[in-house]
Amino acid sequence: MAAGPEGSGAAAAGDPRIQAAKLAGLVGFVNMACPDLRSDPARIKAAIEAMGVRLEELEQGELLLRARSYVEAYRGQAPQSCKKAVELFGQDGKVLPDIIVRK
């Protein structure tokens, strides 16, 4: 997957709000650009809420802009990003399984 906008180093990397924006950007990208994949809305909601972030927070301000910037970063290498999304978030995902599913 293409590298996304990370903000200010380690602090941003450990911030659950940034991680939630990154996940939101990834699933937005998958839903728009990966023809045989889609996200599982219930699992995404549960994962984001488990990070301590409300979905509404991702729909405005800085987090919305971050999520959109991740969508654009992933689009830069769409085929590779789709493949990586399955590896990390698909049925046997290494990070969060079953966030991304086959259509």
Tokens (6 digits) for 91:
């049925």
What values do phi and psi take at 37, rounded to 5? -125, 160
69: in domain: yes
10: in domain: no
55: in domain: yes
pLDDT per residue as tens digits for the range 59-84: 999 999 999 999 999 999 999 999 99
Tokens (6 digits) for 85:
């999304």
Q: What is the rounded distance in angstroms from the CA atom of residue 6 to the CA atom of residue 22?
A: 9
Q: Is 56 helix (H, G, I), strand (E, B) or coil?
A: helix
54: in domain: yes
Q: Which domain holds residue 38?
A: 15-102
pTM (2 d.p.): 0.84
Number of domains in the chain: 1
Average model confidence (pLDDT) across the chain: 90
